[in-house]
Structures are given as C-alpha cells and as structure tokens.
Structure 1
C-alpha cells in the first residue's frame, strides 16, 4: 500500500447523499478479485449512457475533474453492501481522499485498509469545501495527514480527526498484510520453535 502523507489535488464536488456501493461500482463488475482495472467503471451508471458514451455533465467526465484525487460528498457515503471493490474502484481511478459529513461504517473501514483517507467533518465545513470544489480546475485542496489539516484554494484551513492507529498505518503504507509482515521475525521464530518441538506436525 502506498504511503499517504500529504496530498495536493483537485477536489470534485458530488453533493449527493446516500451514495451507495452499487453506485460506486455496480455489481456487474464484481467478478474480479484484482484491485486494479475497476477505475474505468467507477460510478458507471452515472458516467456512461446505455451505449457506453460518456455523460458530459457528470462531474468526473468534465475536463476540470478528470484527474480529481479528492471527492467532496454528502451524508452517508458508501452505504449499501459491504463490497471492498468500492474503495478499489475509487483508488484505481485516482481518488485518495473522500470528505463527507458521514460514512457507512464498513466502507469507512475498508478505505483505510486500501490507502484511502475518509475524512468526516461537520456539514458546514463540508459545505465550504464543496464550494471550493465547484471552482473547477481551481479547486486545488491540500490534505496534510500528519498535521490533520485541510487547506482550501484561498488558504483557509480546517482540522480533522483521525484514529491514531489508522493514521499511523496510512503514513507508513501499512495494510493488514504489511502489519503482519512487521512481525515476520517473531512468526518465523515461532514456526521454527514449533517444528523443533513437534517435528511430526
């Protein structure tokens, strides 16, 4: 997992509530167990018409937001089924930060495990960042995880809370496998000791 320290990128506004995981990545695309290749189908039903053509007014199809790395969204982002493909699709598209007033619990947890920083803020702060995001190509926002501060295009800033352990994992680029590998010496020592004591196993 890539480390997350500080990100400066374009923020895309998505002022919808209850964006569920089926909207993020429809069930049609859940046949893969690979974490890559899903970005092209992110928000598929909102991005493309029935013939597969881009819908011009969808935010991520607009030139200013095609390379967005930050989403500013409404309440209850990531609700619905607990599919881990949802953060995979967001990350594959290039989204590293999602800012919203609230998140579904399982989606929120899955984001951290996949290198995405979900930031929960009071609605008034999200509304201000939504206004910033609506500036198009000028909607450049900086998210500093170490300082826990978001800085908008005009220099205004807002602080955010994050669980210390999850913060540590993102700063160090540690997913569940990475955390386990930190204890590789102890695991190897245990296995060697067990083999010596119980060679028949």
Structure 2
C-alpha cells in the first residue's frame, strides 16, 4: 500500500501485516472450494504429510513474508500463462523472489511468446482465483490442457510452499512429494527449465 507520510514529506510504501494463524497438520474442518477439498483428500489418500496455516487474504508475494517465516520455507510463485490464441496453457512454478520475464520463459521452452492468462480462465480451468494459482489445480485438468513447468531452482529446495487452492490457506510440503508422488497421481509430467 502506498500512502503519503507528512512527517517525511513523501510517499512511502507499507507492507500490510497479514494475520497468520497457528500451524496445523490436518485438513480444515470446512472447505471453501471444491479444489481445496480435493487437495486435502488427495494428500490424505497419498499419505503426503504437510503443515498448513490459515491467513487473511493473501494476493501478492510480498504478503507471503509472514507465511514463509511461520512455516520456515519459501513460497513458490505460480503463474498461469497462455499463448496469444489461448490454445496453449502453462502453469509456471518459480521462486517467489525471482522476476518473471516472458521472453526468457518462451525461449527456454522454445514456444511463442506467452502472457498471463485471463482471470476467468483461471477460475474455469484451475478452479482458483487470482492469487491462489497452485500446482494442485492439476487435479482438475483431466485432459492435460495445462503444462506444468518448474523453474529448476524450485526443485533444489527441500520444501515447497504453496496455496491450497484458496487465498487464505497455505501449505508446506516436501518438494519431492509434490514432484514424484502428487504429480504422478495427477497424471502430469512436469517440464523443468532454467531461467
């Protein structure tokens, strides 16, 4: 948030303090979306352990700072991308602090230039709203219309931090469990790129 500070006689940027509740190791008692319910049922079926926190609504990577501290990990940045014709779709998972450059992504995959997919497609294809894009949306992509693409740097981290499909629930899971167990179950073979 940007506001004018009269004492300093200039505009200053402040980071909104997000409330982050205590760490849980079980699913929420009430699910907010169909995807969120499917996420926790799948993790239970696959016996994938996790830690999670409930939060105020979180939209930006800056909002994730307190979540990272609470769960002692780094939240990934998950971007829903498409080509100009909206016929090719990508879920790009990169480090939270790494800037996204469409040209670098497109060159690494040898595809035409991509941009952010429209919010309405995010809701219909991924089952999430802006700020909640997650690898777990692959559970809804039964026709494999969305290609999962990992920045190699994400795979070097022991833990994977991400949304549970909502903007108020965030998780910490072993990266290996996401890549080897979960994505295998979701029938999505990820592509790994260096950007």
TM-score over 0.5 for the pair: no
Q: Which has the higher helix share?
A: 1
Q: TM (normalized to structure 1)?
A: 0.28
Q: Which has the higher strand share?
A: 2
Q: TM (normalized to structure 2)?
A: 0.28
